[in-house]
Structure 1
Amino acid sequence: MLDATTRSGGTVTAVPTAPATELSLTAELSPAAELAVATRTGLAARCTRVLLSPWSRLSLLLVLLAASASSVLLFEPQRLLSDGWPPQLSGAAAAVVFGVAYGLCTVAFVPRPLLNLAAGALFGSQLGLATALAGTVLGAGIAFGLGRILGQDALRPLLRARWLKAADGQLSRHGFRTMMMARLFPGVPFWAANYCAAVSRMGWLPFLLATALGSIPNTAAYAVAGARASAPTSPAFLIAMGFIALPALAGAVVAWRKRHHLRGN
């Protein structure tokens, strides 16, 4: 590039000069500039490590769960049993919306029996059962994913107690069978089973499949009870209440007989 000229003996001679971009590329940074760049890079790396650390992710999980529980206290979804479903929604759209709300409510610690009764009361036995099961699997999947991504790395090193190690080993080695038992025989809270499975090494597919299959009897009983709540002396309602009580009693007996396994004896 001919950007400068010189005169020598009356002759004009062009002197080539390097472009500004080439000069900027070849010029070296001053020590102060290099220190500033290194400081910014190091600070960004440290901030990234802190934000992605196991305890930071666990803190985020706790904040999300606290926010979910607070939203339930504010909006009171249990009013569906007394006020009914909004008249603007009906049919399949109402079932889909209720299923999604069901899943989110289970993540926010709303008891499933209450939601199952509402599903039966709002949609009848069959559609209520299908909607409640879909919401059950959705809520379990959300809780399992949150626990696995945000809580597992921080909580696994804390599994030092004998009964915690026993529960973790049972879920890690025999996840499908253990989760089926937890869903079939009520006793372990739904949210607690979800997060315990997430902290263990149980896989996604066995967890979701065991949740779907194991939740059918109990969910069906509550859905039928909700659909027949207006006739509490009807055979369907009484049979449903029997199916609710018997698994709970059986679960208590099994837990009592197997308690020594959780104590590590």
Structure 2
Amino acid sequence: MLDDATTRSGGTATASPPAAANELAVTSPVPAPVAAGFAARCGRALLSPWSRLSVLLVLLAAAAASVLLFEPHKLLADGWPPQVGGPVAVVLFAVGYGLITVAFVPRPLLNLAAGALFGSALGLGAAMAGTVIGAAISFALGRMLGQDALRPLLRGRLLKAADKQFSKHGFRSMLAVRLFPGVPFWAANYAAAVSRMGYVPFLLATALGSIPNIGAYVVAGARASQPTSPVFLIAVAAIALPALAGAVVAWRKRHHLRRR
């Protein structure tokens, strides 16, 4: 029988390849260069400026949703949970302060709450720590996730002027922004992050420039039960006068830029 098969094939015995070899050839993996190229393209897409900006927007939306869920403004009405007290409460408040300021929560409410909950001294410490934490987080997120995508969009005259001011005179500019409130805290953080301001000058200017405003709000919160006391009235004046001065400076600066 074997001789017949050999004779019909021209004198040479030929054997068909095993079925397992055919299956291996069909299911062979993707060549390494193709897989490496695909991985590289996926990595570039995920790390592109607009992808990182999308991640930043998602994080900010999630933070804002969590603030709406937990309603931190109720601290002014309900007070701190009774089961948490002492230094632990101050630390937790400072960390929470920093986290929720990233989500655009107005800091004056938190400063008033710090004074009402912990008094002038501890309240000032907690609010200052929370301010620096929130500024550091916002700056880091904006610098890592938003700078590359947003810098090419700085085309307007005012935007270019603000970017130039922050990039060349970072410490002085941020100190002025913090001393004369008017620019929202979160807006100043992300504007500085998009600029070329250094991390250390930004945090140092934030810490030093925020002391007067935070102190005034904290004292006002601590003395809110005595609205006619001289200390409370001085604190209110310390809040109102820098805000008015900041509005005048901003108007004059804008008028000067328009004339140029």
TM range (shorter): 0.7 to 0.9
Sort the Cα spacing of 1:43 and 1:264 in 2 relative to 1 into closer, same or farther, 3 A.
farther
Q: CA RMSD in A?
A: 1.8
Q: Report the Cα offset of residue 261 of structure 1.
A: 4.7
Aligned to 2:157: 162
Counterpart code for 2:42 = C
Instruction: Label 1:155 to 1:263 Cα distance change in 2 as closer, same or farther (>3 A).
Output: farther
In structure 2, how many angstroms separate the alpha carbons of the residues matched to 1:251 and 1:195? 20
CA offsets 1:192-225 (integer angstroms, 9 cap, x no match): 0000000000001110000000000000000000
1:148 aligns with 2:148: no
- Equivalent residues in 2 for 1:205-244 (5 A)? 205-244=200-239
Separation in structure 2 between the aligned mates of residue 144 and residue 37 of structure 1, nearest angstrom: 40
The 3-state SS of whatever aligns with 1:86 is: coil
Residue in 2 aligned with 1:108? 103
Structure-1 residue corresponding to 2:176: 181
User: Given residue 153 of structure 2, which amino acid in structure 1 is its aligned partner?
Assistant: L
| Aligned mate of 2:50, from 34, 47, 55 | 55
Deviation digits for residues 168-213 of structure 1 (CA, Å, limit 9, x no counterpart): 0000000111101100111100000000000000001110000000
Structure 2 residue aligned with 1:83 = 78
SS of structure 1 residue aligned to 2:244: helix
Q: What corresponds to 1:250 in structure 2?
A: 245
Work out the CA distance in 2 between the residues paired with 1:264 and 1:257: 11
Gap regions ≥5 residues in structure 1: 1-29
- Residues 234-243 or 38-47, more deviating: 38-47
1:90-127 deviations in Å (ceiling 9; x for gaps):
11111000000000010011100000000000000111
In 2, the alpha carbon distance for the partners of 1:261 and 1:54 equals 34
Is the Cα contact below 8 Å between 1:65 and 1:108 reproduced in 2? yes
Identify if the C-alpha distance between structure 1 residues 86 and 194 changes in structure 2 by more than 3 Å, giving closer, same or farther: same
SS at match of 2:31: helix
What code does the residue aligned with 1:220 have? G
Tell me by how many angstroms 1:258 deviates: 1.1
Residue matched to 2:120: 125
- Whichever structure has more strand as a proportion of its residues is 1
Gaps in structure 2 of 5+ consecutive residues? 1-24
Matched residue of 1:232: which SS? Answer: coil
Instruction: Determine the C-alpha separation between the residues in 1 that align with 2:59 and 2:154.
Output: 23
- Name the SS for the 2:183 alignment partner: coil
Given that 1:221 and 1:241 are in contact with CA atoms closer than 8 Å, whether structure 2 keeps it comes out as yes
- For the 8 Å contact 1:164–1:262, the answer to whether it is kept is no
Q: How far off is 1:36 after superposition? A: 3.4
| TM-score in terms of structure 2 length | 0.88
CA drift at 1:39: 2.6
Inter-partner Cα distance in structure 2 for 1:264 and 1:193: 24
Distance verdict in 2 for CA 1:204–1:106, change over 3 Å: same
The letter of the residue matching 1:207 is F
1:40 aligns with 2:32: no
Are 1:122 and 1:128, in contact at CA under 8 Å, matched by a contact in 2?
yes
Percent identity between the aligned chains? Answer: 74
Cα deviation code 1:2-52 (max 9, x no counterpart): xxxxxxxxxxxxxxxxxxxxxxxxxxxx8x958533332221111111001
8 Å contact from structure 1 (residues 166, 264) kept in 2: no
Is the CA contact 1:109–1:191 (under 8 Å) kept in the aligned structure 2?
A: yes
Residue 257 to residue 47, structure 1, CA distance change in 2 (3 Å): same
The aligned length equals 237
